[in-house]
Chain A
């Protein structure tokens, strides 16, 4: 029998050392790291649920709801809770009609990811009845936009979309699934509308399900969110509706402005999109369709669309020429239907000519030759100064997306094309052709300035911002961008008289806008897109854009209506009747409102 004593001693030492090592590790985890790991344990099961703030409503000028919110049941997946989520939730993904592959790559175990927004009742019922077999699936209630009038006003209201990385950096308090304004008023007044999100802590198990055990409910905190502010538009829903009805299915834009304040009463652009398609955030396939649509439904034609102004610019040329003294109101010019300039011949739209006419008749009949003559004396740089004074070539400052347009000048052409100016180009610029490009809103604000005696307003689309408890947060006051000097006032009077004539004179090009008992002043325009000869070939895309810009009543202007119809042809026959309908609607609504006020 050998002696095992020393081996037993060695074994006991090994036993002791091994246990000491274990105890050392235990001490390290529980005593040294204990507090930190206890924090881990808490963050494991305490989940902070974001309670999205109620987004502010969008109201019309009379306080009627335009855009509000509705509840939406959204489905989230907690990757940590769903062990084999592709297999386990296969049925779920089918029911929700989403592909699990989309979420495979961006999984953070503790961060629930949104897999479906605004599920319907059947989908909700499916999930609610299978809560126990769908670990890691969480349903939360959020808000989505509801458009009470459907697609009415979609082009300026805009839409919401999932917040981008860049936007998230600017607004770190928002959740990474937040919906924020991407266009229109929703984007321009995003900071007012958004509000502050609240949160509620809840105890959840490893599968993301809320547990009601009292033990784990202690010390849970929550914060009430602050609802966003309501935005009160200057838009009148009734007028907007009348405008969109008058526009029908034509593609174009209509701008209706309050002459005395620069407030927009209606702003339409067709074809447009349906905001319903954007409620759940922008869908990639639909986005591709919209972006590639040749009719550009996402373009807000009234503020972003750029067109040659055609004859509606003649008012600016006339004011410039009168103010600069290059023409008198009674200067006569003979129009034979064409104008020879150097080796080129420029045509009047009326081939047989207007005969001998003064400035007023030139505006009434929209004579080109008269204005070629003015332009020759005026020169492009003086003309372009007046165009800028009427707000062309710069943003109006409306607060939603807009284009600035082009006011050509010698310097502009030099920097843009590295070429010198041809004097012939001055002639076509004076009748709103060539390089000049403007938006319908700019034309509308020009007309407002003509109508109110020379004050160029900044257009207002939002009158005020009101907090959810009724306090005024911000208010728009009429903002003047520029005033014409007094010596130009006389020129304005002359041009206004000519505009009255253009609608009410039997020879006027805008006769189609004439109303009985309500004097409309206006001016037609037809912006050529190709040469006159080609236009006669009759292709639709060769047809000019039809313009009509107006104000009424002429004696004491209240409202201005500007209409543009893309490839509509003659402004007098296409755009003017639409303006008449809009002015009629405005008038009957005003009458009705006056009566209501009296009662």
Chain B
């Protein structure tokens, strides 16, 4: 099942590897500044996760995607079952039951990982019906089912941010693969029609508060608006060049909440200013562009959808996380993949990029001359 040929090294995505390494070092530097005052435990833990992530990324790139394609549904079923499991035995952190404890090793968050099998299954569905040009309402029922099951399970935890990301990734794939105008119209009407009952019956009060606080953060500056205000103060006060490493008053004096996780970007923007923040954004932009490029060069429908899905995943994480810390989107708890502290999200992103690396490597549509070990 593990294939290797001599063209692998020359076709290897060195550009992505390099960009990832730069991103990882920025992330670790930033994490150090954000968390060293409370001890180096978080930093060391993340260093471990990053190392595991790098190994996983490279290893996954050598896994034949034919294998992945074949077992897409299996992965999917396993992770959906984990999502069911987490509802019963999950560990509750900040009122969301999203984590499975692995004892002394820490915790994992299946809802992060599940994004990958969802992308696989979507790709599988689209490559199975490769004759279709664009999808009507009836044809969309299958992909819709694939999304809705994990979406609802994650919503039940409740983890609004991750659920939203799952929806956005799949929505992007569906749009990309083509939707008939009437079906699109129907979906739009359905979304608007469902938003009121969702607000009324499904959102928890803290989630509503966050959305209300987003609309007017100064309405409740001590409560739910506090985080948004402090984040914007941190970012704005960084000005052009920033206050310097370990010198951000908002960060170091702990006015900024969740400094090493959801608000890691605010720390960077405060301490390294506009120049630092824009560099990170540029890096993400290039990585996503590189993945899109890989998708555009791929020779089969499965690879295109997988690569595009990974690009969409990164894209939405960046836009929503940065958008929320900048105060243009409500604060819904979406991490900045790879940059935010968190083992599950970092590992998810790096495995996903590993898959893309594998696709890039085989973009010349090599007939399978690999030795298969069964």
Contacts and interface: CB of A to CB of B under 8 A. Distances in A.
A, B in one complex = yes
Interface of A: 1-2, 4-5, 7-8, 11-12, 15-16, 18-19, 21-23, 25-27, 29-31, 33-38, 40-42, 44-45, 79-80, 107, 109, 203-207, 211, 213, 215-216
Contacts, number: 127
Contacts of A15: 285, 288-289, 292, 315
**Nearest 6 A-B pairs (CB), nearest first?**
A37-B236, A41-B237, A34-B239, A205-B253, A38-B237, A29-B236
Given A29-B235, A44-B230, A109-B221, 10 more contacts: A15-B285, A15-B288, A15-B289, A22-B323, A25-B327, A34-B240, A40-B236, A40-B237, A45-B255, A109-B222
Given A29-B235, A30-B239, A206 B252 contact: no
22 contacts: A5-B296, A8-B295, A11-B176, A12-B289, A15-B315, A19-B285, A23-B278, A25-B327, A26-B269, A29-B326, A30-B273, A30-B274, A35-B239, A38-B236, A41-B234, A41-B249, A44-B249, A80-B222, A107-B222, A206-B254, A216-B252, A216-B253
A18 B315 contact: yes
A45 B239 contact: no
Interface string B178-193: 1000000000000000
Contacts of A203: 253
Given A15-B289, A203-B253, A38 B281 contact: no
B304 interface: yes
B133 A2 contact: yes
B72 interface: no
Contact of A19 (B240, B269, B281): B281
Nearest to A39: B237
B40 interface: no
B319 interface: yes
Nearest to A38: B237
Given A8-B292, A30-B273, A206-B253, A41 B281 contact: no
A23 B285 CA distance: 11
B239 A204 contact: no
A89 B93 CA distance: 23
B255 A44 contact: yes
A205 B254 contact: yes
Nearest to B229: A40
Contacts of A1: 130, 300-301
A113 B136 CA distance: 63
Contact of A18 (B221, B232, B273, B319): B319
Contact of A38 (B178, B239, B255, B295): B239
Contacts of A37: 232-233, 235-237
A414 to B, nearest CB: 63
A30 B40 CA distance: 30
A5 B293 CA distance: 11
Given A1-B301, A41-B249, A45-B253, A30 B288 contact: no
Contacts of A35: 239
B238 A40 contact: no
Interface string B301-337: 1001000100100010011001100111000000000
Most buried by B among A35, A206, A211: A206
Contacts of A8: 292, 295-296
A388 to B, nearest CB: 62
Interface string B232-266: 11111111100000010110111100000000000
B236 to A, nearest CB: 3
B121 interface: no
A215 B105 CA distance: 37
A30 B269 contact: yes
A1 B302 CA distance: 11
Nearest to A10: B176
B254 A26 contact: no
A115 to B, nearest CB: 17
Interface string B263-279: 00000010001100110
Majority SS of interface residues in chain B? helix
A42 B243 CA distance: 12
A25 B222 contact: no
Contacts of B233: 37, 40-41, 44
Nearest to A82: B222
A37 B250 CA distance: 11
Contacts of A19: 281, 284-285
Contacts of A11: 176, 292, 308, 311
Nearest to A32: B236
A279 to B, nearest CB: 33
Given A41-B237, A216-B249, A206 B255 contact: yes
Contacts of B133: 2
Contact of A211 (B250, B253, B278, B328): B253
Given A35-B239, A45-B249, A207 B221 contact: no
Nearest to B238: A30
Interface centre among B253, B273, B304 (most CB of A within 10 A): B253
In this complex, the member of B233, B234, B274, B281 whose beta carbon has the largest number of chain A beta carbons within 10 angstroms is B233
Contacts of B300: 1
A30 B315 contact: no
A36 B230 CA distance: 13
B250 A44 contact: yes
Contacts of B130: 1
Contacts of A36: 236
B239 A7 contact: no
Contact of A41 (B221, B250, B304): B250
Nearest to B247: A215
Contacts of A213: 252
A31 B239 CA distance: 6
Interface string B24-56: 000000000000000000000000000000000
Given A12-B289, A18-B319, A207-B254, A27 B274 contact: yes
A122 to B, nearest CB: 30
Nearest to B244: A215
A40 B235 CA distance: 11
- The winner among A1, A7, A12 for most chain B CB atoms within 10 A is A7
Contacts of B311: 11
A30 B285 CA distance: 20
A456 to B, nearest CB: 62
Contacts of B249: 41-42, 44-45, 216
A206 B251 CA distance: 10
A167 B328 CA distance: 44
A31 B301 contact: no
Nearest to A40: B233
A1 B297 CA distance: 13
Contacts of B253: 44-45, 203-206, 211, 216
A2 B247 CA distance: 53
A14 to B, nearest CB: 8
Interface string B197-228: 00000000000000000000000011000100
